[in-house]
Amino acid sequence: MAEIALFHHAHGRTSGVLAFADELRQAGHSVHVPDLFEGQTFERLEDGVGYAEQVGFGTIVDRGVLAAEGLPPALVYVGWSLGVLPAQKLAQTRAGATGAVLLEACVPAHEFGSPWPPGVPLQVHGMDADELFADEGDVDAARELVTRVEDAELFLYAGNRHLFADNGLSSYDQAAAQLLLDRVLSFLDAEA
């Protein structure tokens, strides 16, 4: 069983994020889903991004770091789009990380002031034609990171949807989401 900190995307801690966490729990894992938006959710992605810009992306990351302080150090960090920021920072800078799964976003490792830690496996998932993932540098950052991390995989899915694994959003793609879930569960089982 893995202990997981799952950081939500820019729509907030939606029913789809919670359903994904429940899928991980049903597989026997312990999942914590901190609320980086202090109870707010947003119908439109642009509104959630606007909220994050208003409070500051640094504040969102700090909220994630603060939420992790109350958790044991041996965690798998899972970040979903915007949630990749605190997940990747914690995986790179907080001692004890047992893995990281970055969903639909990735930033260059140097953004957090330290290289990827040895022995921390990594998965990155995204759609190959998602303009937020493929066209804004995230897939390039993921490719570079995967070449530098000993145990790392990049999974690209055919399509152009962002947040394709959140079953409460119109961007949901059931087949791709199931494949993503299967791959994440295999990763977690290997790290448990």
Residues 118-147 have pLDDT tens digits of 999 999 999 999 999 999 999 999 999 999
The residue type of 66 is L
Residues 6-64 have pLDDT tens digits of 999 999 999 999 999 999 999 999 999 999 999 999 999 999 999 999 999 999 999 99
What are the residue ranges spanned by the domains of the chain?
Answer: 3-187
| Distance between CA atoms of residues 192 and 173, nearest Å | 28
- Tell me the three state secondary structure of residue 31: strand
Q: Which fold is adopted by the domain 3-187?
A: Rossmann fold (3.40.50)
So what's the pLDDT on residue 192?
58
List phi, psi (to 5°) of 28: 100, 5
Claim: this prediction has a pTM higher than 0.85: yes
So what's the pLDDT on residue 114?
87
